[in-house]
Structure 1
Amino acid sequence: MTENSNTDNPSARNRSVPRAGALSRRRFNSLMAGTGLAVGGLAAGATALLPRPAQAAVDLTVFEWSGYDDPSMFPEFVEQYGDQPAFAIFAEEEEAYQKLRAGFQVDLAHPCTLSVGRWRDSGLLKPIDTSRIPRWSEIPASMLEAKGIKADGEIWFMPFDWGNSTIIYRQDELPDARQSYEMLLDPKLQGRVSIFDSVDEAFVIASGILGYDSHMDLSDEQIEKCTEVLRELHKNVRFYWGDPTALQQSMAAGEVLAAWAWTDSYLALKGEGVDVKFMFPEEGLSTWMCGMVMTEDAPGDESQAYDYLNAMLDPAVGKVLIDDWGYGHSNAGSYELAESELAIELGLTSDLDKFLEGTRFQGEIDPERREKMIEIFETVKLGG
């Protein structure tokens, strides 16, 4: 987590809300319940007279974000066992981490790559036996190279959902914009740029401009060079955004012409008829990734845990994430089913490998080094 800058991590994002305009299964069930008709109840009523095979009692507890406890995230598991796991809900990863350290017992949890190393090094996790997840081979190889997944010859993390940060800009005002992070340094954009108030994303931008492979393993000298880039960028920044709605309003009004933002802001602006472009910069997209881990002191049925993980990799689940939530999924086959306008426009339905090429997946940074980066970023924002 960062101080005043921790919303770059999905742990501070509202991850229970599908993309604008989408009617997720969760929302649909809610609306139906309001009319006195529950989808689950209709299904149960239709099959109540049919004999059902005996099923094992569910002995599994999953530590999750709000919204991911919806059955659309694991329909095969419900079909197999006749019920869903028990869920414990957390609001952000630090809360989940501290509860697990205090002895709270669950079988599976859903952190992001920024946190996995810390959880593993604290003895909270056990390795994942990928041979027990039939769909593991359907995860793109490029995703499995993200920092935090592998350590000590073992797999500790199963990718599940992900999303992007990149530059979105007013194409009508900047028709010849260079497709690079360096666009944000253009003197002509003084006072017309906004970037996310995030130390991680700020250093993604700076390290990309300098040609570094990653912002996660910077030397002291490289951090100093990034600092100079951030000072130069600060001259163009109108404000550091924390609320995507405020950013979207400023871009719609033409006050901000270029911004480091999330896919959902692009989607919202397009929906308002604003002529914005989603950039595929030469330095690569910045991508957060979250997924599942197995806890060391898991009290439940390990076989059910593996069945649950495999159910989450179902391409049908991916279609919900992509089309209804605006997120990516870790099964490459999901994109063959996706049909949302955003997925088609971004090329997710045609060539996932091309989309992921050059992606800068985020991972954990050494805590002391990150504290130094936080201090620098806060100083730069104050004009120092």
Structure 2
Amino acid sequence: MKISSFLLAGAAASVLAAPAFAADRELMIFDWAGFEIPGLFETYQEKYGNSPSYAFYGDDDEAYQKVASGFRADVVHPCSQMVSKYRDAGLIEPWDVSKIPAFADLDPQFLDSPVFKDETGVWFLPTDWGVTAIAYNPDEVPAEDVSTLQVFLDPKYAGRISLPNSSDDVWALAYLATGVTDWDNVSDEQFQAAADWLRKVHKNVRSYWADPSEQAQLMASGEVLIAWSWNDGVAYLKQDGYPVAFQREPVEGSTTWFCGMVNMKDGPGSEEKVYDFINSWLRPEAALPLIEEIGYGHSNLKGMALIPKEEVIDAGLGPINAPILAQTPNDPQLRERQLAEFEKIKAGF
């Protein structure tokens, strides 16, 4: 993906709730920008002769607001923290796992929550996982500077830093930076300490990136030297030979997360095609294009077993010797509080 492609991808992602490309009108996938990878829907395309139609978004909360406001899709791709909102709003229905041969091969840790799987059914199919850590330009930033998350406060990098426009990711960063590695039991004092830290960092932020292609563009241009990044922003830069390194082991740690597919109630398309799409995504062979294109791990254990260890490590998915904050579902009230506070911080309050 060259820099012109970064620009095009960013433009496509900004047209939320509109098809980035209309293909099969009987299947609408509402997805993160960058996931329209042919290898993920290869068997679907072989069967039907074309790809699904896609609409893209860059932020989980905005995606939820779109569908809650009436945008119709067949499948949406939220991360784990959002699934309870879809369920509580009555927007989704359980998956019929008898129609999904690869369900038995999914990593069980990604289904270990009554939000995802209970006596009423399976409400969430985990598909992909990754990390959020420090991406930086090693030609301009010494490795010792990114040995700590306090680099985001360093006045030396004022105006050369970018953070995701994602409440979950920036709060995970702030909690880690202020000594919290588990957001399941955050006290008022810990919340306030993290908020105060984010307000200080805000003064150094050049921009809050909306999607990984925008982050990659900012770093490729040299405007940004340090970013709090997902795997794909780093993967795009590596593919084009731009200087980039991924620091997952600052002293305070980094984060992990996972995402998956929900089956929208009364979707406008074909239910048969919904299952053909998800079966293409979950087959073991889909793991390779997922990690090669955007650096993410696959939920299918058999699929991950096909990936050479060195490729897993190069993508930033290997084990680390540092604390990890797992972005698993947390208290919905805390999450809403974080979201509201983040909006205030971005506005300068």
Contact 2:231 2:315 in 1 (8 A): no
Contact 1:241 1:247 in 2 (8 A): no
Amino acid at match of 1:113: S
Kindly indicate whether residue 62 of structure 2 is the aligned counterpart of residue 95 of structure 1: no
Cα distance change, pair 123–88 in 1 and its aligned pair in 2 (3 A): farther
Amino acid at match of 2:288: K
Q: In the alignment, what sits opposite 2:21?
A: none
Amino acid at match of 1:346: A
What's the CA shift string for 1:261-285, capped at 9, x where partnerless? 2334334444565543201135554
Separation of aligned partners in 2, 1:358 and 1:153: 32
Separation of aligned partners in 2, 1:338 and 1:286: 22
What's the CA shift string for 1:88-133, capped at 9, x where partnerless? 5434423334336xxx584x44444343222211223222354553
Separation of aligned partners in 1, 2:43 and 2:240: 37
Q: 190, 198, 201: which is aligned to 1:233?
A: 201
Q: In the alignment, what sits opposite 1:260?
A: 228
Q: In the alignment, what sits opposite 2:218?
A: 247
Amino acid at match of 1:138: D
User: Structure 1-normalised TM-score?
Assistant: 0.63
Helix, strand or coil for the counterpart of 2:134? strand
Kindly indicate whether residue 282 of structure 2 is the aligned counterpart of residue 331 of structure 1: no
Q: 40, 44, 48: which is aligned to 1:83?
A: 48
Helix, strand or coil for the counterpart of 1:128? coil
Helix, strand or coil for the counterpart of 2:338? helix
Counterpart mapping for 1:217-232 below 5 A: 218-232=186-200
Separation of aligned partners in 2, 1:192 and 1:105: 38
Amino acid at match of 1:277: A
Identify the structure with the greater strand proportion. 2
What's the CA shift string for 1:47-97, capped at 9, x where partnerless? xxxxxxxxxxx9x74544488677643444566xx4379955434423334
Contact 1:69 1:87 in 2 (8 A): no
Q: In the alignment, what sits opposite 1:155?
A: 122
> What is the deviation of 1:171?
3.3
Task: Give the structure with higher Rg (CA).
Answer: 1
User: Structure 2-normalised TM-score?
Assistant: 0.69
Q: In the alignment, what sits opposite 1:312?
A: 281
Separation of aligned partners in 1, 2:37 and 2:241: 32
Cα distance change, pair 12–332 in 1 and its aligned pair in 2 (3 A): farther
Separation of aligned partners in 2, 1:146 and 1:283: 27
Separation of aligned partners in 1, 2:114 and 2:239: 34
> What is the deviation of 1:166?
1.4
- Of the structure 1 ranges 136-145 and 189-198, higher mean CA displacement relative to structure 2 is found in 189-198
Q: In the alignment, what sits opposite 2:137?
A: 170
Cα distance change, pair 194–67 in 1 and its aligned pair in 2 (3 A): closer
Separation of aligned partners in 1, 2:327 and 2:105: 19
Q: In the alignment, what sits opposite 2:102?
A: 135
Give % identity.
31
Q: 314, 321, 338: which is aligned to 1:373?
A: 338
Separation of aligned partners in 1, 2:297 and 2:236: 17
Contact 1:323 1:340 in 2 (8 A): no
> What is the deviation of 1:205?
1.0
Helix, strand or coil for the counterpart of 1:259? strand
Cα distance change, pair 267–129 in 1 and its aligned pair in 2 (3 A): closer
Kindly indicate whether residue 169 of structure 2 is the aligned counterpart of residue 201 of structure 1: yes
> What is the deviation of 1:157?
0.5
What's the CA shift string for 1:306-333, capped at 9, x where partnerless? 5553332112222222223444322233
Kindly indicate whether residue 287 of structure 2 is the aligned counterpart of residue 322 of structure 1: no
Amino acid at match of 1:124: L
Separation of aligned partners in 2, 1:299 and 1:267: 34
Gaps of 5+ in 1: 1-10, 17-57
- For these two proteins, the number of residue pairs brought into alignment is 319
Cα distance change, pair 122–375 in 1 and its aligned pair in 2 (3 A): closer
Q: In the alignment, what sits opposite 2:326?
A: 360
What's the CA shift string for 1:244-267, capped at 9, x where partnerless? 2553146x36xx543212334334
Gaps of 5+ in 2: 1-9, 16-23, 58-62
Helix, strand or coil for the counterpart of 2:90? coil
Separation of aligned partners in 2, 1:111 and 1:359: 19
CA RMSD of aligned residues (A): 4.5
